[in-house]
Structure 1
Amino acid sequence: MSEQFTQQVSDRICKHMNDDHADAIALYARTFGNSPDTESAQMQSIDATGMNLIAQRQGESVPLRIEFDHTLKDSEDAHHTLIDMVKQARGAAKST
């Protein structure tokens, strides 16, 4: 079984996402955070029910909370959920 959501797990996921997938985080903000004018975003924390982002839009930092469609079981579930969300967001962006 994968790790439960501890502060260390949240920190590790956020570091990975911010370092390697900044474009995906901005896409989450635009699509799921109802913030279509987001220029960039950072993941501040993640827990079993959602993620907290700071979006940059029009020169301002705006906090966003994005709730997941289910309660995550562990870090492996978070990994799969974040991948599914970026695929969904990319599909939505293509259809507009």
Structure 2
Amino acid sequence: MLEDCLTLEGKPAPKIDFTAHAKAMGARGETVKTIQELEAALIRARESDVTYIVSIDTDPAVTAPGGAWWDVAVPEVSEREEVRIARKNYESHKARQFKNL
């Protein structure tokens, strides 16, 4: 979570330990910091007979070089031309979205 995110009370948002949270619910998991740790953790996750999470701390200020797209659908039907154009643009982007990632 971003350091500068504030709660409704104006206090910093709490840090969430996703690994501890998953373990508290009966899953297994670990937090990794490097690619080598990630590779090893993924092997353990695949071998696990129960739900297994791998938590990765990342820099919230850096985005992936490939960019990102937040899927917020535009209405399928509208009387307004600009909404119909926006829908076509949405469908064009949606068609290029990688599935199951």
Tell me the TM-score normalised to structure 2 length.
0.21
Larger radius of gyration: 2
Higher relative contact order (CA 8 A, sep 6+): 1
Tell me the TM-score normalised to structure 1 length.
0.22
**Greater per-residue strand proportion:** 1
